[in-house]
Amino acid sequence: MAPPWQSELPLATKADLLGMVTLKAFFTAELTVLKNLEVTADRLPQFFKKLFSAILPPKQTKGLTTDGLFRIPEGLHNKTDTARDIIMRFKSQLDKEGFLSATRGQTPLTFEDHSLNFYQDLNHQTLQWRASLKEVTMQLKAADITYKWGYLRALIAERDGHRHRLTSTAEVAQFLHFLSIHPAPSPMSNPAHRWDVAKITPFTPARPTAPE
């Protein structure tokens, strides 16, 4: 049974999303109820306030409030029929960055019988870039290579204990060529950036990146 907030929290309109993209002081939180708790929309601000107090030092939580809470019409991150994504706007970019810095490396975070995943933005270009790598991520999974998304547009793949930060289709192509994996171009990819094996330059495997 879906928690009450999923029907009570207002849906984000295109104007809301556009305003947040312009302000760049927002993020999304995928909220998964681990137990059947009665979390209502009017309790969500208090819920997140308690969350801030639990993970941030006191001086950062003073006056830290959200300026807007909306429910995303469709789940953008969980790919299920249930929209669990909440978009949250802070009053300042500094507040948002402080919160994301504190939660980095803790996702998913369990708090009060809820599991939360935090996402830093809903920038259209970011989502489109990730969607263009769908075939790549499927092939990485098939090859038992772990990966995650990095900020802002980066695919971080881990192999033999090393993390490789890939920030362009050219770098991704080089990495896959190094692994002898040959991806098919995604229909969502920009034609100007499609895989061109003939132009692949040798990939240096020793490119570990610090954990995010």
Banded pLDDT at 169 (limits 50, 70, 90) = confident
Q: Is residue 159 in some structural domain? A: yes
Q: Return the CATH number at 138.
A: 3.30.250
- pLDDT tens digits, 75-93: 444 454 444 556 666 666 6
Banded pLDDT at 203 (limits 50, 70, 90) = very low
Banded pLDDT at 166 (limits 50, 70, 90) = confident
- Same domain, yes or no: 11 and 113: yes
- pLDDT tens digits, 130-164: 788 888 888 888 888 888 877 667 888 888 888 88
pLDDT for 2: 53
pLDDT for 75: 47
Q: Among 59, 94, 122, which residue terminates a domain?
A: 122
User: Rounded to an integer, what is the distance from CA 185 to the centroid of its chain?
Assistant: 23
> Minimum mean pLDDT among 10-14, 130-134, 165-169: which range?
10-14
State the chain's mean pLDDT as an integer: 64
The H-assigned helical ranges of 72-201 are 93-103, 124-132, 134-142, 169-178
Q: Is residue 72 in some structural domain? A: yes
Q: Return the CATH number at 59.
A: 3.30.70.1820
- Same domain, yes or no: 58 and 130: no
Q: Among 62, 97, 122, which residue terminates a domain?
A: 122
Task: Tell me which DSSP letter residue 56 carries.
Answer: S
Q: Is residue 173 in some structural domain? A: yes
The parent domain of residue 74 ranges over 5-122
* C-alpha pair distances (Å), 175 with each of 64, 129, 202: 42, 17, 9
Question: pTM for the complete prediction?
Answer: 0.42
Cβ contacts of residue 159 below 8 Å, gap of 6+? 145, 179, 205
